[in-house]
Amino acid sequence: MKRIKMETAAVTTTFSRPQHLNVPADLLERPEAVFVGGCWQAGRGAAAILAIDPSTGEAFARILPASAEQVAEATQAAERAFIDWRRTSGARRADFLRAIAAGLRGRKPDLVALQMLNNGKPRYEAEIDVDDAAATFDYYADLAAELDDQQGRPVLLGDESLTGATYLEPLGPVALVVAWNFPMVTTAWKLAPALAAGCTAVLKPSEFTTLAELVYGDLATQIGLPAGVLNIVPGGGSVGAALCSDRRIRKISFTGSNATGSQVMAAAAGRIVPVSLELGGKSPIIILEDADIAQAVEFASAGIFFNCGQMCSATSRLMVAEGIAEDVTAALVAKTNQLLVAGHDEPDAQMGPLTTTEQFAKVKAVLEKARAAGLDCITGGNPVHDRRGFFVEPSIYRNVPTDHAVWREEIFGPVLAMRSFTSVDEAVALANDTDFGLAATVVGTDGDAAAAVARRLDAGHIWVNTSQMIFPNTAWGGFKASGIGRELGPWGLAAYRGVKHITSAV
Ligand code: NAD
């Protein structure tokens, strides 16, 4: 562990940086973390943000957030840059997107190390993140390259004296506000289609994982992205609120909690600004009577313990056919008990810590509540006492009452609620009995029967005999309280474009 003392006029902080991760200093020391009009500036906002290593609970860097004035400068820069960027050909925009993808891949080892340090992700998970972010830019580069030929498509009007044509126009400068659980990835899902469509962007990273997102500013400079096409304003909720209510913003795309999502929607309503919301979930996994038990257990485990359960798509409610419930439960508990829960000092870690101290407190409170209610905990149920940092045991509860918070509310941690069912109708009813509708998994040897169950579920993305795989050309987003709109695929691009029709006299 390397100790580094940093002093400013007001504060002296000692930072701990684990040397085995080898995160380069340029990714950690960011006296200028606000990116406006192609230039880095020192943040002039309120209290400094400390970046915390969740494996140890210690601070490793400090970031000065943007002020409200800097947010306004960023939206002005985005507005100015929009004039030329919207006229830049799709083919040229595609070149920039490909260059960002290549840039991410070029810094992959450093970004993986940074994700491990800041998010507590095991190495293999951090590697997936960087690959997914790069793949998203490549995908939208392909779509951007096709845009030029799609403009001005003729529309037959049935009147020979008139012609019609349709254009798809970028909406303008957009606000992109993201969460902390998959930094770079959820940003890529917004930034890549926004830039492909011809929008300029102001990105507001999560205050918990700012540093990884700043790399997009570095790449913008490196590839010569025109000034103001991408701007970054680090900070907390007040910076996000200032951005969402800025009069120059023509679209808001938000990923985060339902509570904040509704505030963002209210801000958007004030000015009638279109909004996309990617919110929470309480997704089901249904294990049918004919399921392969080993496979079902793999999917159930990945669906709740990947990223320490901090996934909007976590399949946190397991429904298993009564006939195999005992075998599935035994196999799942055995697998869970073998998971290596550890931080970045353990190369073979399979599940890391929770990412923030707030999330740690929230999950511990849920475990307490479950204990107080006498829920049947079949493994886990406690914080990990012998480690520093924000570790909790992977936890499973059986026969959870359907009106209990562990069954109904998003926990955003490695906590699985189980129930059994006696008929497929009962399983479908249980699965759909939720305010959310983001994702689901169905497992069964008869693929057609499993797919038929999938068709009956109210969820935006469903996996049949696989789990948590998200490709850039599929749709991401939810029904009900899980959000509004879809990211990824052509739908993700459409979210940043408006339809313009021109009717002309011949
Ligand atoms: P959060 O709502 O606390 O914060 C999200 C972002 O909003 C942060 O950048 C935050 O600073 C900002 N913010 C806070 N107040 C704001 C305001 N008034 N106006 C504008 N911005 C504001 O969420 P979180 O804790 O960072 O993320 C966890 C949540 O995100 C979970 O509920 C999870 O399900 C959800 N999530 C959803 C998806 C999805 O694709 N559906 C993906 C990842 C996370």
**Angle subtended by helix axes 90-106 and 123-150, to nearest 10:** 170
- Note the pLDDT tens digit of each residue in 231-259: 999 999 999 999 999 999 999 999 999 99
- Note the pLDDT tens digit of each residue in 407-437: 999 999 999 999 999 999 999 999 999 999 9
Structure tokens at 255: 């990923």
Residue nearest ligand 1's atom 39 by CA: 278
Query: Which of 312, 390, 435 for a ligand 1 pocket mutation test, highest count of atoms within 8 Å of Cβ?
Result: 312
Neighbours of 7 (CB within 10 A): 8
Asked whether 235 lines ligand 1 (CB < 6 A), one says: no
What are the φ/ψ torsions at residue 123 (nearest 5 degrees)?
-55, -45
In angstroms, what is the span from residue 205 Cα to ligand 1's centroid? 10
Neighbours of 40 (CB within 10 A): 16
pLDDT (average), residues 66-81: 99
Asked whether 204 lines ligand 1 (CB < 6 A), one says: yes
CA gap 488, 506 in Å, rounded = 39
Q: Which residues are catalytic?
A: 278, 312
Asked whether 240 lines ligand 1 (CB < 6 A), one says: yes
pLDDT at 11: 54
pLDDT at 24: 97
Q: Which of 174, 151, 452, 421 is nearest to 289 (CA)?
A: 421
What are the φ/ψ torsions at residue 479 (nearest 5 degrees)?
-85, 175
- Note the pLDDT tens digit of each residue in 354-401: 999 999 999 999 999 999 999 999 999 999 988 899 999 999 999 999
CA gap 214, 34 in Å, rounded = 8
* Claim: this prediction has a pTM higher than 0.95: yes
Residue nearest ligand 1's atom 14 by CA: 237
What are the φ/ψ torsions at residue 129 (nearest 5 degrees)?
-60, -50
pLDDT at 46: 87
CB 435 within 8 A of CB 480: yes
**Domains of the chain as residue ranges with CATH:** 34-42+67-279+485-501 (3.40.605.10), 284-471 (3.40.309.10)
Residue nearest ligand 1's atom 18 by CA: 241
**Angle subtended by helix axes 447-455 and 424-432, to nearest 10:** 40
pLDDT at 7: 46
Closest ligand 1 atom number to CA of residue 260: 2
- Note the pLDDT tens digit of each residue in 191-209: 999 999 999 999 999 999 9
Residue in this structure with the two tokens 């009106």, named with its chain if needed? 403
Helices (H), 272-378: 293-305, 322-338, 357-372
Asked whether 279 lines ligand 1 (CB < 6 A), one says: yes
Asked whether 263 lines ligand 1 (CB < 6 A), one says: yes
pLDDT at 6: 45
By 3-state DSSP, what share of the chain in percent is helix, strand and coil, each rounded to 5?
40, 20, 35
- Note the pLDDT tens digit of each residue in 34-67: 999 999 999 999 899 999 999 999 999 999 999 9
Asked whether 238 lines ligand 1 (CB < 6 A), one says: no
Closest ligand 1 atom number to CA of residue 267: 19
In angstroms, what is the span from residue 365 Cα to ligand 1's centroid? 20
CA dist 393 to 49, 93, 285, 351, 354, Å? 28, 46, 21, 9, 10
pLDDT-derived band at 8 (thresholds 50, 70, 90) equals very low
Asked whether 73 lines ligand 1 (CB < 6 A), one says: no
Asked whether 237 lines ligand 1 (CB < 6 A), one says: yes
In angstroms, what is the span from residue 179 Cα to ligand 1's centroid? 4
Query: Which of 190, 204, 211, 255 for a ligand 1 pocket mutation test, highest count of atoms within 8 Å of Cβ?
Result: 255
First to last CA, the chain: 74
CA gap 441, 457 in Å, rounded = 10
3-state class (DSSP) for residue 433: coil
Which amino acid appears at position 306 of this protein? F
Closest ligand 1 atom number to CA of residue 189: 40
pLDDT reading at 311 higher than 90: yes
pLDDT reading at 9 higher than 80: no
Average pLDDT, the chain: 96
Q: What is the DSSP letter of 392?
A: B
Closest ligand 1 atom number to CA of residue 356: 25
Query: Which of 176, 177, 185 for a ligand 1 pocket mutation test, highest count of atoms within 8 Å of Cβ?
Result: 177
CA gap 161, 308 in Å, rounded = 63
CA 484 from chain centre, in angstroms, equals 15
- Sign for the pseudo-dihedral over CA of 130, 133, 135, 137: negative
pLDDT (average), residues 212-229: 98
Closest ligand 1 atom number to CA of residue 177: 9
CB 316 within 8 A of CB 305: no
Asked whether 312 lines ligand 1 (CB < 6 A), one says: yes
In angstroms, what is the span from residue 178 Cα to ligand 1's centroid? 6
Residue in this structure with the two tokens 């529309």, named with its chain if needed? 155
| 3-state helix/strand/coil string of 352-413 | CCCCCHHHHHHHHHHHHHHHHCCCEEEECCCECCCCCCCCECCEEEECCCCCCHHHHCCCCC
